Structure 1
Amino acid sequence: MARSPKDPKTFLPEITKDFREAFGNGLISLILYGSAAGPDYDPGRSDVNLMVVLRPEAMGRLDEAFGLIRKWRRKGCAVPLFLTESYIAGSLDVFPIEYLNFKSRYVMVYGKDVLRGLELKPALLRLQCEREIKGKLLLIREGFVESDGKRGHLESLIAGSIGALTAIFRALAVLKGLEMSGSRRALFAEISRDFDLGGDVFDRLLDVRDKRIKLTQAEMLALFKQYLAEMEKLSDVVDAMGG
């Protein structure tokens, strides 16, 4: 995929024109979501994510958009997320974290704001948080064992886990009634304080991900072991929130 644009919002008028031409009255909404819609956007790293909401009859014509998708991928956009309104209504109980994150970082590009007014049940949000934390813990533990302790491998594991961790932390902030801080770093600090997570572990993980620090082999190994320990602690706390 091409390098992400410096400012994805400059593409929006042309993107809107292309999708309206492709789907006509079948296009309900175009929404820019994720880091490209917020303060954490990094042209060298962030994806440009679009949500395309179509009428059911237009969903059967996705093949007509092959060239359109190819064009925008060359310009640095990810493959869009194609949804219908009925799919959104029927999946709120299954993907509450995903919809919460859509709502927390989005810009309306065209049409109906299908995200406004979505109600997410706290019990289902907590349950998915628990499931995601425990699943993430299994994955990073497996990756740690496979890494043979190599610094580069551990750096990649950290960088690859930050996105999912951010989504989980935003959901936890909502459950605890905390401020949904504008930046990822402020959010991580808030969750670390409120859930009594150890020291500056998550801040240092962000430093590794953002290449602000260069750790020795021993330092990286120690940090990753702390990461595993704090994720285990968080797993237990969120489990206890469910009674």
Structure 2
Amino acid sequence: MIKNPNDIVDKLTSDYRAVFGEQLISVVMYGCAVTHEYVPGSSPISIFLLVTDSSLEYIHKCIDVHKYWYRRGVMTPLIMSRDFFETSLDLYPVDYLHIQSNYRVLFGEDVFSTLDIQKEHLRMQCERELKQLSLNLREEYLQAGCRKKVLTDLLEDTTNRLFPFFKALLVINGRKIPHASSELISSVEDLFGLGVSVLSDIYHKKKGLDKNSVQFCHRLAEIIDLVVGKVNQAKEREPQSLVT
């Protein structure tokens, strides 16, 4: 278990530099691992690697390094070539914004500080993937068959997957992204006039979450559908805004 992500920076960077050599452009740690919200043994440690060549020939070389760090709590790294990175900003703006909001450069270039992320690109990815998330929630709810533990896991997993989109929704509406997850949820609840909603209940693991998991799933689905509706309406408005 890694108690402090700062303790692994030197060895982690050294290991990937040994694998990629001059092909390695940048090593970035992002997410809760670079914030005060990191919880040892629970929070993921996410890594982004930018390389000149992301062919499987080079990816294969880092299998042993990946195994070593994965066993210690470091997630499988997101590996991109510079060309892929620079030509996919319009396809994955939500993902790039998610990294950009909380990151630390461990080695090489800071490629996130100058990213120009367009609101319309954010809106398009939000629409596409929030609709998919809504479908997934319904499918997995049906498969769970009212098993409370399974539904509770579904609630937490779905809410966690919403966080990058929460950040995008705030940016689309000209609002700043808070660093703390609890503040992020509060900002989204305020943006859509939700009050203290099921989002806060799930994040703070409100007492009775297991017992009332069916009702919580219904309420979460309603919120996702509400947000999707706002995203759809934004197609017809300039400048882009989800809330009138």
Specify if TM > 0.5.
Answer: yes
Counterparts in 2 of 1:193 and 1:60: CA distance versus 1, 3 Å: same
> Over aligned residues, Cα RMSD in angstroms?
1.8
Aligned to 1:141: 138
Secondary structure at the counterpart of residue 91 of structure 1: coil
| Residue aligning to 2:104 | 107
- Find the counterpart in structure 1 of residue 153 from structure 2: 156
Q: 1:223 — aligned with what?
A: 216
Q: Deviations over 1:101-156 (max 9, x none)?
A: 11111101011111121111111111111112211111112222222222112101
> Any stretches of 5+ residues in structure 1 without a counterpart?
none
Deviates more, 1:157-166 or 1:192-201: 192-201
Structure 1 residues 58 and 16, CA gap change in structure 2 (3 angstroms): farther
Q: How does 1:149-188 map to 2 (within 5 A)?
A: 149-188=146-185
Partner amino acid for 1:227?
Answer: L
Looking at structure 2, the residues matched to 62 and 194 of structure 1 have their Cα atoms a distance apart, in angstroms, of 42
Task: Give the TM-score normalised by the residue count of structure 2.
Answer: 0.90
User: TM-score, normalised on structure 1?
Assistant: 0.90
Distance in 2 (alpha carbons) for counterparts of 1:72 and 1:108: 18
Farther off after superposition, 199-208 or 111-120 = 199-208
1:32 maps to which of 29, 33, 37: 29
CA distance in 1, matches of 2:31, 2:124: 22
CA offsets 1:185-238 (integer angstroms, 9 cap, x no match)? 111111111112354221112123xxx523363x32222211111211111111
Q: Give the stretch that moved more between structures: 230-239 or 99-108.
A: 230-239
Q: How far apart are the structure 1 equivalents of 2:5 and 2:224?
A: 34
Unpaired segments ≥5 residues, structure 2: 237-244
Q: 1:148 to 1:59 in 2, by over 3 A?
A: closer
Moved more, 138-147 or 106-115: 138-147
Give the letter for the 1:140 counterpart: L
The answer (yes or no) to whether the contact 1:201–1:226 under 8 Å persists in 2 is yes
In structure 2, C-alpha distance between the alignment counterparts of 1:172 and 1:238, rounded to whole Å: 9
Q: Per the alignment, do residues 140 and 34 of structure 1 end up closer, same or farther by CA in structure 2, a change over 3 Å counting?
A: same
Task: Give the counterpart letter for 1:237 in structure 2.
Answer: K
SS at match of 1:196: coil
Letter paired with 2:154: L
